[in-house]
Structure 1
Amino acid sequence: MVSELELVVRSTEIDVNGHVNNAKYLEYLEWGREDWYERAGLDYSAFLEMGIQTVTVNVNINYRRECVQGDRLTVRTHPRRAGRTSYVLKQELVDAAGVVRADAEVTSVCMDAAERRSRELPDRLREALQAVDA
């Protein structure tokens, strides 16, 4: 499953160079991941039911082109691969003309909420991660 979250760059996201601050791209990606989880039926309450949390352990991002105030962007998110305890989501930040402004692969680890240690992906999460249509 692919989620697409639309956003507009606001003035508060611009740095002294007149473009989006690099840290804001990470925030946009986080919003996109939350949207993907919700569309996959994996909101926070679902994680609580499974007794898990997820922790981002690596973000590999490519800043392709700058974004400026007023840009209309779409954060595309879809599963890339799933391992035993971790998984990777592929994300792209695309403008209205379809130009990729940034792309990233984000690795997360499934963690047992009570023990605070990594654990195997629950079937429900693994199934959502395997429902790749992009």
Structure 2
Amino acid sequence: MSSQIKVRGFHIDVYQHVNNGRYMEFLEEARWEFMDHTGFAEKIAALGLSMVVVNTNINYRRPAVIHDVLDLGIRVAKIGSKSAVFEQTVTRQKDGATEMVVDATVTFCVMDPVAEKAVPLEGEIRTILEQVAEEAGA
């Protein structure tokens, strides 16, 4: 699944390209779009649980500049026993070709907020994750 964001002046740093820290916001925007589209957050919250990011790895491939329209891609790449992984991309169109700006992996777990511990991704939780992954085009 994907969404778009246009690079604005407040995304730009002194070097006239998107500041590296802004990509964290862009990736989070894509995850919220994913949750809105699939209902993932509501489905997990209905079980009294929440999703938390536990690791983010970002590869910066090329700079994005003001007025670029960026495509924010996201998919569930892996569902493990206690965590799952989103693969996320930020691309742009330039001279008729798609250019990779950033690619990232974001590992998350489903947490019991009372116990403050990750819960196993099994049973109903795993079913929800598999359904939203399929719905979002994983």
* Match status 1:70 vs 2:67: yes
Give every structure 1 segment of 4 or more consecutive aligned residues whose post-TM-superposition deviation is greater than 4 Å: none
Give matches, 1:1-134, under 5 Å. 3-43=1-41, 45-96=42-93, 97-121=97-121, 122-128=125-131, 130-131=133-134, 133-134=137-138
CA distance in 1, matches of 2:132, 2:44: 14
Q: Secondary structure at the match of 1:23?
A: helix
* Identical residues among aligned pairs (%): 32
Q: CA deviation at 1:64?
A: 0.3
Kept after mapping to 2: 8 A contact 1:52/1:112: yes
- In the superposition, the TM-score normalised over structure 1's length comes to 0.89
- In the superposition, the TM-score normalised over structure 2's length comes to 0.87
Aligned length: 131
CA distance in 2, matches of 1:27, 1:16: 18
Kept after mapping to 2: 8 A contact 1:91/1:104: yes
Report the aligned-residue RMSD: 1.6
